[in-house]
Structure 1
């Protein structure tokens, strides 16, 4: 890591940047109707070349995605090779965004010098048709039909296929693939490690390889039966060698247009599915007899792997030619050394002192984060306009094509993704949360991720951060400044250059929020769904009836929170350069204005605060200015708690501009000064900026920590459990909401995520963080009942600890079972399942069962941050 401060460093050249799924993504959608799932379905993936990326099982690629390696499998029964992850499209019954597969990121180090990945492959024919048909038949009121429900995993009739990577050097990767038969009977297995070049030559205009060959294509050429030589105009020369005597099969990474689309002929006589046809159907016509192409596979076959038997193959990817002994003792020593280094890194440096169970969960969380660093290539202008040889289809623009105002986006970067199946694309606020646990193991990469979202090829010229490829213009909550501060803090308060770089770009983003999401300049904000899909009575991102506007409690709270984080960063910069003083003053005063508006806005003087209910609500304002509070108690009304930050006592000496402005405001605008609170403490004068005063805070917390409302055994619910069905008319249209602790029972926002009752990790972590801030200010003078009605009183710091401990409890076994595993097969008594925690997108508000995307380590990896010993506060900010 000392040699690898950025993604351009040699040790980071090769990594797990290959996606688990590229089919069905927006980037591969060249249809006229914008139906990405149908435009490039799973059934095309084995025979159709991708335009923007590649995918594979447990694979790696170079930093630029030119040369790829992964593992393909065949059990002698499947209709196609198992080369990539399978899942359902929305039309096929997907309502949880999880793949119908079982796999785990087992281990990894930040420079990918050591990585392990495990895939569970059924020995029976993979039940593709059964999974599709049964899930399509089921309604949203029924559980999803999973792979384990089909019976193919009964009696442990599966192979565990583990891929291990250990780097002997930056350009020398030792690879082992093992497969263990856990079933009761012998079973056949075909194992095909594959290497291929991403197709950059079929679309026209690729000058990168223009000098190589007449066909503008890189080449793979067999060098004997145990190695292939890869020549590439940018990468240079690599050799992939395989131990033993596998059959080497070569074809081209080009579309089989004859079989897929009824074309007269294919561009290549040996298209992408040549290996698949040779192994599965015995069809030799797709294999190049001259032993060269742009895709190659090493074909290993076992007619019968005995029960309990493990078969193993070794491979090595490096720039040097094959040599005697390259798979001998030195190879094994590299694996042993890298494994030992990983053990020391996590056991001694990252989380010493944890229990064995907590250490296992934290290490798996880090492994998931590191394995879901994916290469993301997308030039939106080129995608919209089409390529030289493959222009965009007629009518694309007329169909209201996505992202037409984001033509500047031109990404070719490794990005931290929420997971590798649902998300071979990023989401801005997800990425920000990822950087918190990442900062513990790889602060340089964490900082790079935050900066990337602000770079000119990502951030819109108007200052908006891109949301996600489905609609870059959607609005994610502004958590970037909070994440930047915490990364700076975890990294030891030492990288001021990072702080300056991210802060100056966020000035543009903050201005975008003010100019675009405060329609009448009232300091009360709109924002749409703000990442919390179906939390409201209606889709908050959809157009309202003419003349209506929705003033949002969460949007306004997010902006108050944003102001405070920017204020905090500006104060830190001001300590060594007084040129930043005025910036700190700006954010202080802007926060005070938002706080005032949160209480009263508009000609009717209506507040987002409901005094009778003791809660904050969104307010729908009619064309005549008449307000109607949306009386649904949800996370929307809890988020004002986020508007809390300490004001350090040293500002009076070190930040004179802020001090002078505070004095002026106290004299001339005393009505604004309510949110600035101060009190005497043994350690000196304490000051706090808080959006919510003490009385209102007590009332909100009495609901938040009420088991009948928000408090679950595993964190704070996103909607009050007391919410029975609420039906309201919104601009003449009926809308309804009720408590749904599990998966969504409606199709709102696609119906794949649910904010109507489940527990979500990121907002829980934010609430605990701010309760701890409030607790440090109030100390023992402010106690609450915890839980409400129990008579047990505790401080706000204790309450914050309760939330953190509730979240970590999701992964701590109770009677041998993790609550997060629910009743799924992962909760089996078998050690084959119990060993592997999964990190879900969200969690049932009653039982804690993991829901949504079943491998979304992403922001749920925040559990590793919570399990780490808490960082001591810097005395400058204590």
Structure 2
């Protein structure tokens, strides 16, 4: 067993020593719901970027390559200055949702280079322009553009021309759980010498300004340490829970001190400052370095400190390096319960070299040996993004709603029972490290995103993957009524119920042994399932009205809002999700029943639900209007208006393909080992022969395969035909979210209005959901994953003998399992270099060349025609699924 795997195995507890420190600092804390105390719930305006360097955060911190303890008390991050910017580069810049012509949009270039599960080794690259950062030009340039225009990007401003930038690489390497080397290396890629200031900063999260905690930590120069030409500068951070943490720096940096508190005089006027406010606020270091003011604390103490290296001229091709070492002690509790793990390394050189070698050894075992070097590189970068995407998430909703004793009371509008954000979720109190969808654009959890993150995470860190799934089901997250929280902007919105699907994937990847995890997730989903049945099946017809379901603008109108003309929307995708929910619960219950017969009856319960949903999918929806359109042989949503009139929405989208996912294979041992389920299935289908359509029998090489399917064999063939048609859903790099047959658009009269929709392969041309994502054509990894998984199940069950044309009309026939593999290879091909060295997934605004082409970018979604990356630029949440395809090229076989 390699050293990192040993650490992972010894660190299954989410608060184990090796997990005590990690890159848990957010890439963006400003503009989040947690920091919004406004009356109108405008989070972007309440805490804008221009306040971020002057105003203390309430619920977290942000920074470049940030490192912190698991409670987020003490943070270590990097600041930079090129001698031209109007402020220190302390955090990544981007546009707010209203500023961007396609919603919120990061305007920087950075990449996660490496990351192990215990954060024993982590590496991160930031590309820093040598010219003044064009903040206002980026804001103005995008303001002048509309939905039909591309975004105006940093590369469009010309500041990166001739490679006039520094590549700044930050490496973390742990000598022990609480002894961490931080190395910063900056390389000038431009044609001329340029100045650079490297300014690592150590600071405490502000916990003392809110009237809830009288403990005030401090950072001081360590006893006996000072500024020496030869030697070290040592800072000591003192905290009532962390104890004493030392940060040593090689060389002779200048040390600056201030406090992590708001600059009231600048932001609000001196008269607004509370009694006892600091004279050396959060931006004092910025003013000292950038503006030459004597703004820091003249005494060597504060709650924020900086180590300032100034390099007047870094020549072309030259690099400069600084090193720091953070040393803390394990808490008394951990000292008592955990033995030292692996030898403590001595020199920084030894630490960096050893941990890099161990990271290589770890991933050599995770990624199959036969994998090409390029695919290995892609997978490792995807895993790195997942590790850097872990962020400490603090959000106590009742405290947030009520406000803090030492602060002005929040506006009463925040508590309005009808309009107040998250007012119905006052049980939520989270203080955990959570995998974020995107470290800048989505620095908050989304439950269905998170479920997909856990699948690639399970290949490297199954304990963390399981913890993430269970966390969303705990009493401080799941609503008492059983609903899972959607995302912080609106916990009450509805995400697809993919938790059971993800749990089964994680269980299978982890070796099919952790029945304790399986039992815990099934028990929690037994609470979630009734919420769906009671809240999202209005007339008890087994047709579901899920609403939003994560697919922002896939339809003619916003499915979260009140529908045009009233009424309700009976959804093919919501009903499909529920069918799949039933089947995964059935499959997990069957697995548990092998050792505990009580689960046999639970499996029967979900079989009953599945058969009822399947029958309805086969038969009719409201007023005898079926979700299945016999004319087009495709599933569609049905709009039931307030007067009871019902008609289909004539749209061919991912909504109509998702019924494919309602499939599972009943293992052959069920007949012998689970008598309740077996007897029920036999008797029920005899009494209700119409339900037999959902049980597809296949005889293959002498043994029977029983497949439960939401759709008939004829519907399967039709849907697969659409899916594999290049004029419909099949794209060069995956499956589109809307059929390309809608390139010319369609118009439907709904509620007295003419509503239109057309295939849009790239950025959204609609303002629905702020225009920050598009489901009207692009390729999205999560639904592609579920479709290929379903094709494999069909290919091993009811469709084992089925050969279909791939692509449709080509005359080339393949089995469904072969097609699933080829579709996943199309998705992987997004990240493989083309003949010119450029990867199809590279966003259009990224320049080409040796300094750019080696870095895969994991976008939120991809152009439905050519694969170009779109949306959020670091979505190594669900887009990290590419690593799953590489590590499990034949899928997970335990169905």
Q: TM-score under structure 1 normalisation?
A: 0.96
1:504 aligns with 2:523: yes
Q: What does residue range 77-88 of structure 1 map to in structure 2 within 5 Å?
A: 77-88=84-95
Structure 1 residue 812 displacement after superposition: 1.1
Q: What does residue range 234-383 of structure 1 map to in structure 2 within 5 Å?
A: 234-264=241-271, 265=273, 267-284=277-294, 286-319=295-328, 330-383=347-400
Structure 1 residue 320 displacement after superposition: 7.6
1:742 aligns with 2:773: no
Q: Deviations over 1:166-221 (max 9, x none)?
A: 10001100111111111111101111000000000101122xxx3xxxxx311111
Structure 1 residue 781 displacement after superposition: 2.5
2:853 — aligned with what?
834
CA distance in 2, matches of 1:822, 1:835: 10
From 815, 819, 828, the counterpart of 1:799: 819
CA distance in 2, matches of 1:127, 1:603: 56
Q: Deviations over 1:263-304 (max 9, x none)?
A: 3246100000010000001111x3111110100000100111
Q: Deviations over 1:95-153 (max 9, x none)?
A: 15431000010001100000101100000000001000010001111110110110000
Three-state SS of the structure 1 residue aligned to 2:208 is: coil
CA distance in 2, matches of 1:534, 1:845: 15
Structure 1 residue 389 displacement after superposition: 1.1
From 791, 806, 810, the counterpart of 1:790: 810
CA distance in 2, matches of 1:751, 1:148: 22
Contact 2:494 2:550 in 1 (8 A): yes
1:156 aligns with 2:156: no
Q: Deviations over 1:838-877 (max 9, x none)?
A: 1000000001000000111111100000011446866xx5
Structure 1 residue 350 displacement after superposition: 3.2
1:777 — aligned with what?
797
Structure 1 residue 544 displacement after superposition: 2.0
Structure 1 residue 395 displacement after superposition: 3.3
1:714 aligns with 2:721: no
CA distance in 2, matches of 1:398, 1:263: 30
CA distance in 1, matches of 2:622, 2:648: 15
Using a 3 Å threshold, how does the CA distance of structure 1 residues 800 and 342 change in structure 2: closer, same or farther? same
1:220 — aligned with what?
219
CA distance in 1, matches of 2:432, 2:703: 48
Contact 1:817 1:827 in 2 (8 A): no
CA distance in 2, matches of 1:349, 1:24: 37
Q: Deviations over 1:506-562 (max 9, x none)?
A: 110111111110011110000111000000000011012565111000000000010
* Aligned-CA RMSD value: 1.6
Structure 1 residue 604 displacement after superposition: 2.9
2:747 — aligned with what?
727
Q: Deviations over 1:571-625 (max 9, x none)?
A: 0000011010110000011000001112334563221000010100000012332
From 405, 410, 414, the counterpart of 2:433: 414
2:173 — aligned with what?
166
Structure 1 residue 348 displacement after superposition: 3.1
Q: What does residue range 185-196 of structure 1 map to in structure 2 within 5 Å?
A: 185-196=192-203
Three-state SS of the structure 1 residue aligned to 2:326 is: strand
CA distance in 1, matches of 2:168, 2:844: 21
Moved more, 351-360 or 378-387: 351-360
Three-state SS of the structure 1 residue aligned to 2:696 is: strand
Aligned residue pairs, count: 861
Q: Deviations over 1:310-351 (max 9, x none)?
A: 101110000389xxxxx9972101111000000111123433
CA distance in 1, matches of 2:738, 2:622: 30
Three-state SS of the structure 2 residue aligned to 1:838 is: coil
Q: TM-score under structure 2 normalisation?
A: 0.94
CA distance in 2, matches of 1:351, 1:781: 29
CA distance in 2, matches of 1:513, 1:328: 53
Contact 1:21 1:421 in 2 (8 A): yes
CA distance in 2, matches of 1:394, 1:341: 53
Contact 2:804 2:813 in 1 (8 A): yes
Three-state SS of the structure 1 residue aligned to 2:102 is: coil
Three-state SS of the structure 1 residue aligned to 2:347 is: helix
Contact 1:376 1:414 in 2 (8 A): yes
2:46 — aligned with what?
39
CA distance in 2, matches of 1:797, 1:731: 43
1:655 — aligned with what?
674
Contact 1:239 1:318 in 2 (8 A): yes
Structure 1 residue 783 displacement after superposition: 1.4
1:515 aligns with 2:534: yes
Contact 2:625 2:648 in 1 (8 A): no
Structure 1 residue 835 displacement after superposition: 1.4
CA distance in 2, matches of 1:603, 1:528: 17
Structure 1 residue 721 displacement after superposition: 0.4
Contact 2:162 2:191 in 1 (8 A): yes
1:101 aligns with 2:121: no
Structure 1 residue 785 displacement after superposition: 1.3
Using a 3 Å threshold, how does the CA distance of structure 1 residues 680 and 445 change in structure 2: closer, same or farther? same
CA distance in 1, matches of 2:466, 2:345: 40
1:76 aligns with 2:96: no
CA distance in 2, matches of 1:340, 1:184: 34
Contact 1:12 1:112 in 2 (8 A): yes
Using a 3 Å threshold, how does the CA distance of structure 1 residues 602 and 328 change in structure 2: closer, same or farther? closer
CA distance in 2, matches of 1:872, 1:803: 12
Q: What does residue range 274-673 of structure 1 map to in structure 2 within 5 Å?
A: 274-284=284-294, 286-319=295-328, 330-397=347-414, 400-545=419-564, 548-601=567-620, 604-673=623-692
1:213 — aligned with what?
none
Using a 3 Å threshold, how does the CA distance of structure 1 residues 667 and 329 change in structure 2: closer, same or farther? closer
1:852 aligns with 2:861: no
CA distance in 1, matches of 2:135, 2:491: 32
Contact 2:39 2:413 in 1 (8 A): yes
Contact 1:385 1:391 in 2 (8 A): no
Structure 1 residue 816 displacement after superposition: 2.9
Q: Deviations over 1:17-56 (max 9, x none)?
A: 0001000001001111111000000000001000000000
Three-state SS of the structure 1 residue aligned to 2:840 is: helix
Q: Deviations over 1:599-658 (max 9, x none)?
A: 334563221000010100000012332211000000000000000110111111111100
CA distance in 1, matches of 2:388, 2:353: 20
Contact 1:30 1:392 in 2 (8 A): no
Using a 3 Å threshold, how does the CA distance of structure 1 residues 632 and 51 change in structure 2: closer, same or farther? same
Using a 3 Å threshold, how does the CA distance of structure 1 residues 818 and 477 change in structure 2: closer, same or farther? farther
Contact 1:365 1:857 in 2 (8 A): yes
From 211, 235, 255, the counterpart of 1:204: 211
Using a 3 Å threshold, how does the CA distance of structure 1 residues 666 and 149 change in structure 2: closer, same or farther? same
1:704 aligns with 2:711: no
CA distance in 1, matches of 2:622, 2:97: 45
